Structure 1
Amino acid sequence: MPDRADPVRPEDVPPRWIAQHRPPEQALFSGIYGLVLASALAAALDATGEKADPGPDALWVLLTALASGAAHGYAHVIAQRASADRAATTSRRQLVFAEWPLVAAVLPTVAMLLAAVAGWWAESTAVDVALVFNTVALFGWGTWAARSAGHSRPSSCLAGGLDMVIGLVIIVANALIK
């Protein structure tokens, strides 16, 4: 009777679940872009000497994300229109709506600012928590993307760490500027 041992999977091959749940490239791009945008906006909101007003600040973060997503999607429309491949089949509406991960990525930051409106914490605390959350999320997205692309665990963590550096740069810049 043949031995029925489980096959050994090489280290650089991601588990089946990860390979099946690989994020689409556009969603990954827009999500990471949204996290960086949310971090930069949150850092800019927390100005020393200004009266904290987290409600309008949350609205500005959301509106900026919506405007950025629409502008980025419209840039795709313009690029497609100008491309030599006139047979492109993606509708203009689909190109603009494909930027939804950018808006979704700023929602945790908006929620944290709204928690400051509710009095759960000060706006400066909301900004600090949002910066840390977004930095950790950058690590997670970078690691997930690398792992789903077939990288080993150490290589995926390195990729996530490099993505996380963007968030850390924003945190350090925020601390130095204020």
Structure 2
Amino acid sequence: MSDHAQHSQPEGTAPRGSLAPHLAERLLFRGIYGLVLASAMVAALDVPGEEADPGQDALWVLLTALVSGAAHGYAHVIAQRAAGEASAAPGRLRAVLAEWPLPAAVLPTVLLLLGAVAEWWTEDTAVEVALLFNTVGLFGAGVLAARTAGLGRLSSFRAGAVDMLIGLLVIAADALIE
């Protein structure tokens, strides 16, 4: 019996999982975007042969996530306006603030870079651990998204593995570029 057939749900019922489907979708979308953004930023900022500045790199990762989140939220506002859905100013602000999972997802990377500022480890170590952490985070987010959608364990692990490939591609690109 297929994995999907085992978990069919009556119409009108929410899929299994710990979060309401719509909320889970928003949180996971923004969180996954933040993990990929953090990985790409930390890999790009770690330039071989240049003097390491983990404090500046941490600031750039955080600032980029904040600006990306605000831009994404505001893009929703513009799209709603273009579709003729008038939105009051509080609704616009809520759309921008709803992007909080994106900057929140970069915080582990920022903290790892700040650990290099405190000289607990080198920036190279911080970058490697951040890339690994974010890749594992992508796997976990993929599994959580699939489970929230009502998929079984095997399908959920396959979904997580596919999401994890994004992180592995960033790691491979970083290794090839260096």
Contact 2:46 2:124 in 1 (8 A): yes
Q: Distance in 1 between matches of 2:169 and 2:136?
A: 13
Q: After TM superposition, give the deviation of residue 21 of structure 1 in Å.
A: 2.9
> What is the rounded CA distance, in whole Å, between the counterparts of 2:56 and 2:89 in structure 1?
40
- CA 1:104–1:51: 2 relative to 1, 3 Å: same
4+ residue segments displaced more than 3 Å: 10-14, 84-90
How big is the shift at 1:45? Answer: 1.2
> Partners of 1:115 and 1:89 in 2: how far apart?
39
Question: Percent of aligned positions with the same letter in both sequences?
Answer: 63
CA contact (8 A) 2:135 2:168 kept: yes
TM-score when normalising by structure 2: 0.87
Distance 1:159 1:90 in 2: 36
Q: Which residue in 2 is equivalent to 1:156?
A: 156
Structure 2 unaligned regions, length at least 5: 10-15
- Please name the residue that 1:129 is paired with: 129
Q: Tell me, in whole angstroms, the C-alpha distance in 1 between the residues paired with 2:166 and 2:76.
A: 25
Gaps of 5+ in 1: 1-9
CA–CA distance in 2 between the matches of 1:140 and 1:73? 24
- Cα distance change on mapping 1:117 and 1:13 into 2, 3 Å: farther
Contact conserved, 2:113 with 2:127, CA < 8 A, in 1?
Answer: yes
SS in 2 for 1:19: coil
After TM superposition, give the deviation of residue 84 of structure 1 in Å. Answer: 3.4
Q: Which residue of structure 1 lines up, in the alignment, with residue 61 of structure 2?
A: 61
CA contact under 8 A between 2:135 and 2:167: conserved in structure 1?
A: yes
Alignment length (residue pairs) = 167
Q: 1:97 and 1:156, CA in 2 relative to 1: closer, same or farther beyond 3 A?
A: same
Quick check: which has more Rg, 1 or 2? Answer: 1
1:12 aligns with 7
SS of the residue 1:48 aligns to? coil
Structure 1 SS opposite 2:169: helix
Q: 1:87 to 1:36 in 2, by over 3 A?
A: closer
TM-score of the aligned structures, taking structure 1 as reference length: 0.87
